[in-house]
Structure 1
Amino acid sequence: MKILIVEDERKLAGYMEKGLKQAGYLTTVCHDGAAALEQAAIEEFDLILLDLMLPSTNGFEVLKNLRAFNINVPVIIVSALSDTRQIVEGLDLGAVDYIKKPFDWEELLARIRTVQRIAGNTKNSTLMIDDLCIDFAARKVLRGDKEINLTTKEYLLLECLAKNANRVLSKNQLLENAWEMNFDPESNIIEVYMHQLRKKIDKDFDNPIIKTVVGAGYMLKGDKKSM
């Protein structure tokens, strides 16, 4: 599950990001409403955790714009605003839930799992890219009729690439989204894991789908279809 955290208080945003990654989620953080809208327009998310009191564009405006642009990702509002009128307005604008700050961490995780269960009941969790099939629920990967056995880190890297298929991801983006690591320009860890992935995903197949874009990063290239 890929979550966009929209929170201008950087310490809290970092706490949420760290906790969600430890819980097994992929995360991206934005600190203002305008940046969040731009990110949601170019990247596919499964959930947005949205503060309301944001610089540039407040959370209510973010909700309005998400719906106006037909971006139907579920949104949980996480806000210190606790007036009933504000809660009702947020829910009426399309949020699926509303959590008041300060919040209990286990409660937030439980609310996220609820959204995850609902989403799992309303759409399939399998993605095809050419003949590569990824079952996100079972964490099962097939290439043609061949099952591919991946380590946890290899799988997280492949999942990140697959959910952004046909889009170039930099080493920095892969490190931040696939694993909880800060980018070290001198590190070759991504090259090492991409080499291992290629051996498992592309070896013995006529049409390699893992592409290197020199100077930019990596991508999975192929026809993308949800099942």
Structure 2
Amino acid sequence: MRVLVVEDDRNGAETLRRTLLAEGWMVDLANNGEDGLFMASNDAYDAVICDIMMPKLSGYEVVRQLRRKEIWTPVLMLTAKDGDYDQVDAFDLGADDYLVKPFSVAVLTARLRALIRRGRPERPAILTAGTLSLDPAAHIVKRGDTELALTPREFAMLEFLIRNKGNVVSKAEILRSAWDVNYRGDENVVEVYAGYLRKRIDTPFGCKALQTVRGVGYRLSADGDGRG
């Protein structure tokens, strides 16, 4: 088995290398995100272990660009950041698993073996609503042929809406999906992000796909592009 470790902490990277060598794996090291992306894009690996906070390119960006290139090598992300938002962002961008530092070496190797046993995930289907399309793995949203730039939170909210296209979903349901179960803030944050989404997916194209159902929630139009 061949594993790529992308980690800017050279001591930590060397510890991982020795640990994995002891497990019988071949290991390559990259000390920044740019080198890691190049190596993962040009060589065949059974898995990639990738830190999030790195120079040149973050781990988030490494995973995002790999998935955009349709490279489906399993990615285990490592970070000192601990929070549901960070995990959501990592998974939304196409990561397959996530460990917070400090972590048990035994847990790391067990998670890595599980990823390798599963193999490369199949490319998920592209979700559509009229001329709007969303690719969950490549983290790409398009209106027709135009690619749209969304933040991770906007992407998560749109993914939930498009999976429920044609149905009315409440603010609480959107919060549980696009934020996290422990969120205790004002539900009106959903209204704010609905406004952001309209400016991305509707307004520039003369569409009205994202509809407000007063007193209930939101619905993403399932009939064509929502014009009218």
Q: What TM-score, normalized by structure 2, do the two folds share? A: 0.52
CA distance in 1 between counterparts of 2:57 and 2:120 reads 31
Residues 91-119 of structure 1: per-residue CA shift (max 9 Å, x gap): 11111110010010000011011112212
CA distance in 1: counterparts of 2:117 and 2:64, whole angstroms: 25
**Counterparts of 1:65-76 in structure 2 under 5 Å?**
65-76=65-76
- In the alignment, the residues of structure 1 paired with residue 116 and residue 101 of structure 2 have an alpha-carbon distance, to the nearest angstrom, of 22
Which one has a bigger Cα radius of gyration? 2
* Deviation (angstroms), 1:31: 0.6
Partner Cα separation in structure 1 for residue 121 and residue 6 of structure 2: 26
Instruction: Tell me the secondary structure at the aligned position of residue 49 of structure 1.
Output: strand
Deviation sequence 1:25-78 (CA, Å, 0-9, x none): 111000100001111122111100010000000011111100111111000001
Q: Indicate the residue corresponding to 1:222 in structure 2.
A: none
* Counterpart amino acid of residue 57 in structure 2: T
In structure 2, do the counterparts of structure 1 residues 29 and 83 end up closer, same or farther at CA, with 3 Å as the change threshold? same
Q: How does 1:30-45 map to 2 (within 5 A)?
A: 30-45=30-45
Structure 1 residues 60, 97: CA separation in 2 closer, same or farther (over 3 Å shift)?
Answer: same
Deviations 1:144-189, CA, capped at 9 Å, x for gaps: xxxxxxxxxxxxxxxxxxxxxxxxxxxxxxxxxxxxxxxxxxxxxx
Question: What amino acid maps onto 1:109 in structure 2?
Answer: T
What RMSD in Å do the two structures reach over aligned CA positions?
Answer: 1.6
Cα displacement string for residues 109-153 of structure 1 (whole angstroms, at most 9, x for unaligned residues): 11011112212998xxxxxxxxxxxxxxxxxxxxxxxxxxxxxxx
Would the alpha carbon gap of residues 121 and 96 (structure 1) be closer, same or farther in structure 2, given more than 3 Å must change?
closer
Q: Output the amino acid matched with 2:9.
A: E
Unaligned 5+ runs, structure 2: 123-228
Q: Quote the residue 2:20 is aligned against.
A: 20
Q: Secondary structure at the match of 2:119?
A: helix
Aligned to 1:50: 50
In structure 1, give the amino acid aligned to 2:33.
G
**Could you tell me how far 1:4 is from its partner in structure 2?**
0.4
**Counterpart check, 1:107 vs 2:107:** yes
- Tell me the amino acid that sits aligned with residue 21 of structure 2: K
CA displacement at 1:18 relative to structure 2: 0.6
Q: Helix, strand or coil: the match of 1:99?
A: strand
Distance in 2 between the 1:43 and 1:33 partners?
15
Which residue number corresponds to residue 11 of structure 1?
A: 11
SS of equivalent to 1:44: coil
- Structure 1: distance between partners of 2:90 and 2:19: 25
Residue 64 (structure 1) aligned with residue 77 (structure 2)? no
Counterpart CA distance in 1 for 2:121 and 2:82 is: 31
What is the distance in 2 between the residues matched to 1:59 and 1:113?
Answer: 21
Identical amino acids, percent of aligned pairs: 33
Aligned match of 1:80: 80
1:40 and 1:116 mapped to 2: Cα distance?
15
CA distance in 1 between partners of 2:108 and 2:34 (Å): 24
Separation in 1, partners of 2:84, 2:18: 30
Q: Partner amino acid for 2:104?
A: D
Task: Say which SS state the counterpart of residue 24 (structure 1) adopts.
Answer: coil
**Counterpart of 1:61 in 2: which secondary structure?**
helix
- Could you give the per-residue CA deviations for residues 189-209 of structure 1, whole angstroms, max 9, x where no partner exists? xxxxxxxxxxxxxxxxxxxxx
Distance in 2 between the 1:39 and 1:116 partners? 18
Q: Post-superposition, which runs of at least 4 consecutive aligned residues in structure 1 deviate over 3 A?
A: none
Secondary structure of the structure 2 residue equivalent to 1:50: strand
